[in-house]
Amino acid sequence: MPARTHEEARGLATSVRNRLRGRDTALIASGLTFYAGFAVVPVLVLSLWSSTLVAGDAAVRRLGADLAALLPDDLGARAVVTRLVAAGVGLSGWHVLLTLVPISLYGEGLRRALLRYSPEHDRFTAWRGRLLALPVLVAAPFLLLLVLHAGRTVASLTGEGRPWPWLGGVVVGFYALLAAFLVPLVWGFGVVAAGRLRRSALLVGAFMTAASLAGFLQGFTLFLALPLQLGAPFGGLTVVGGVLAVAFWLWLLQFVVIAGWLFTEALDDRLRRGRPVPPS
């Protein structure tokens, strides 16, 4: 059994490597990061606004304050979260609709990026990607409230200062992020992307990718706690260093998304053929 498992894992790794061959994945991830840069703030603001429709303004403000207090403040992360919460709770009118434009751009970018690894031929890629990305926003308030409530639990556990509760807080935070990423990834890989995957491959691939993203995002939280002078390489301009640091971590997340898609495709190919992927 271990030999069979090793053979399967080796075959999947070979299949992913073959899909990477001849493609500049770092550059493709950079292009996807460009689209993500447009979407990340609007999707957070819109999710906060829609969360107020479910839980009320006061609850979202309170949960947002708890999450902000949980973050290290050396690089100003708390102030950023506080401003995001205020912007989301105060969103109204045309501003709600206007956020859909930059949010939909990520759907276009995701479809374009993943098509680079596929033999699929697509028409109206931009519009398909944009329109197909929007329905997942229905789940946004529930997923965000899950993370916010988990943040309160994490704060209570890590605030005790003892190792086991602290470890429990890390686990709670990890699984909350995993659950929050899982739904958009299932939708992105299964609907927004041009390829069509078997349900089993889609669920396994999205789960693995969501777990990786959750781990990387927790790593970003640790990064915020480091006593770094981000502006040092840029003439002391901390704002420039901070923006580029966030862009770098955003690029890492897109790299993980692409790797997760390639793994999902390789697993889907394995299931379609009904036999192990032969390593070469």
- pLDDT bracket for residue 5 (50, 70, 90): low
In a domain, 205, yes or no: yes
pLDDT at position 120 is: 73
Name the residue with higher pLDDT: 96 or 4. Answer: 96
In a domain, 167, yes or no: yes
In a domain, 280, yes or no: no
How would DSSP label each residue in 126-192?
HHHHHHHHGGGGGGHHHHHHHHHHHHHHHHHHHTT--HHHHHHHHHHHHHHHHHHHHHHHHHIIIII
Structural domains counted in the chain: 1
- pLDDT tens-digit profile of 222-260? 887 777 788 888 888 888 888 888 899 999 999 999 999
In a domain, 278, yes or no: no
In a domain, 53, yes or no: yes
Instruction: Give pTM, 2 decimals.
Output: 0.88
Q: Which residue do the tokens 């789940």 mark?
A: 139
pLDDT at position 211 is: 96
CB atoms within 10 A of CB 120: 11
- Could you give the 3-state DSSP secondary structure of residue 25? helix
- pLDDT tens-digit profile of 266-276? 888 888 877 54
Query: Taking all residues of the chain, what is their mean pLDDT, rounded to a whole number?
Result: 87
Range(s) of the domain holding residue 146: 2-13+22-273
Opening angle at CA 128, ends 216 and 198, nearest 5: 60
In a domain, 96, yes or no: yes
In a domain, 279, yes or no: no
What percent of the chain has a predicted confidence (pLDDT) above 90? 52
In a domain, 89, yes or no: yes
